[in-house]
Amino acid sequence: MCENSKLYKFANCRILRDHKIILEDLWVRNGVFVNPEKLFFDEKKPADVIIDCKNRVIAPGFIEIQINGGFGYDFSFETKTEEGLAIVSKKLLEHGITAFCPTVVTSPEQIYHKVLPKLKFRQGGKHGATILGAHVEGPFINKEKKGAHPPTCILSFEKGIEQLEKTYGSLDSVRIVTLAPELGNSAEVIQSLKQRNIVVSLGHSIADLSQSEEAVFHGANVVTHLFNAMLPFHHRDPGLVGLLASDKLCDTHPIYFGLIPDGIHTHPAAMRIAYRIHPDGLILVTDAISAMGLESGTHKIGQLDIEVRDHKAFIAGTNTLCGSIATMIQCVRIFFNSTGCSLEYALEAASLHPAQALGIERQRGCLDFGADADFVMLTDDLNVVSTWIRGECVYDANDK
């Protein structure tokens, strides 16, 4: 464990900084990365502790913005919420995740009132990854693209932002809202959420490109699991997918999009298309459900029963996919191998890009001086060696 007052030098490592992996030492004090030049010239201070990284790659800690649960627990359950959150938070460290947004799918109103207050921001450490606030995926979505969301719980914006406040009970713990932009009053709702510093993501939708662009102009900046639960690409109106190549959007309206590279939800060719068209906005997400880390069998996602068979999760009794059982480090590997992108890019798609979408890129998702010392140490074949939060080793594969 790093003692805050001590100066730590991580030597013999290759670090990901400014989109490049370079051979350079990493310095940490008081839980943040520090500039060694200032230490040398101003303080003339050597390191208190030197850690030999054995030529490992050090990347920013992964940030997961869409995860429904894992290891037998679902964040949309009103029972054992704290227990599930504690176990999932702890287990995520094994896969390089240092911060995440626990995701609650479309649920009855009372579920939101009981669960969301427990998903508020919590700084990470040995107990688990940092909780950045909840991602509420629904219930303000389109029934025609409900996916694994129960149709009886899907709502509209009849009363604008007041409808969200009533449904969720409070917006205090909410960090991301996924909604369908074609619903009435969506412009007002999106603007109100943005004013509260809540990220608006577009998904489970049949919106056309014009409706999608309008939503971005009003403040939406993310697309939820691209290609899934939306209209398929059409050459006359590409719908939500068209945002990746819209000529109406510019630097003042950046758009990001989650991609599930689990080898099931998104074909490798579709991954390559998204990567080549709009690389700056691509975010790797697992969309993992309670069955992540478990064997085949029957489990739960929100209000629905699910079945895991052939390494895939389906709504029970159907062939409808309902989330992933892949871990983040598995998704990084699959994406890297499927797209031919650089290692730097694959790692930033799981760290820097989600931080940018959330507006926290100065604090997380990078190894810049002054940023929180959240990072993951990896082998060349992308196995997690150790995970660190604010300069403290919170997971070491050698301790397993």
Q: Which residues contact 137 (CB under 8 A, 6 or more apart)?
A: 66, 103, 104, 105, 106, 149, 178, 203, 204, 224
Task: Answer yes or no: is 137 a known binding residue.
Answer: yes
- Report the C-alpha gap between 346 and 328 in whole angstroms: 11
Answer whether 322's CB lies under 8 Å from 303's CB: no
Instruction: Provide the 8-state DSSP code for 262.
Output: S
Q: Is 287 a known active-site residue?
A: yes
Q: Are 376 and 388 in contact (CB under 8 A)?
A: yes
Q: What's the CA gap between 217 and 231, in Å, rounded? A: 21
Please give the Cα distance from 89 to 134 (Å, whole number). 13
Q: How far apart are CA 394 and CA 400, in angstroms?
A: 12
Q: Is 236 annotated as a binding residue?
A: yes
In sequence order, what are the residues at sequence separation of 6 or more whose Cβ sits closer than 8 angstroms to the Cβ of residue 234?
A: none
Distance of alpha carbon 123 from alpha carbon 374, whole angstroms: 11
Q: Is the dihedral of CA 174, 348, 214, 140 positive or negative?
A: negative
* Options 74, 208, 262, 287, the catalytic residue: 287
Question: Per the annotation, does 322 bind a ligand?
Answer: yes
- β-sheet bridge partners, residue 20: 17
| Cross-strand bridge partners of residue 21 | 16
Q: Is 149 annotated as a binding residue?
A: no
DSSP for 100-131, written as a single string? EEEEEES--HHHHHHHGGGGS-B--BTTBPEE
Q: Is 12 annotated in some ligand binding site? A: no
228 is in an annotated binding site: yes
User: 323: annotated binding-site residue?
Assistant: yes
Confirm whether residue 321 is marked as ligand binding. yes
Rg (CA), the chain: 21
Torsion of CA 356, 362, 367, 371, to 10 degrees: -140
Inter-axis angle of helices 186-195 and 161-168, nearest 10: 70
CB 239 within 8 A of CB 217: no
The two tokens of residue 191 are: 């603007």
229 is in an annotated binding site: yes
Annotated binding site for substrate: 148, 228-229, 236, 265, 321-323
Residues known to be catalytic: 287
Annotated binding site: 137, 148, 204, 225, 228-229, 236, 265, 321-323
Annotated binding site for Zn(2+): 137, 204, 225
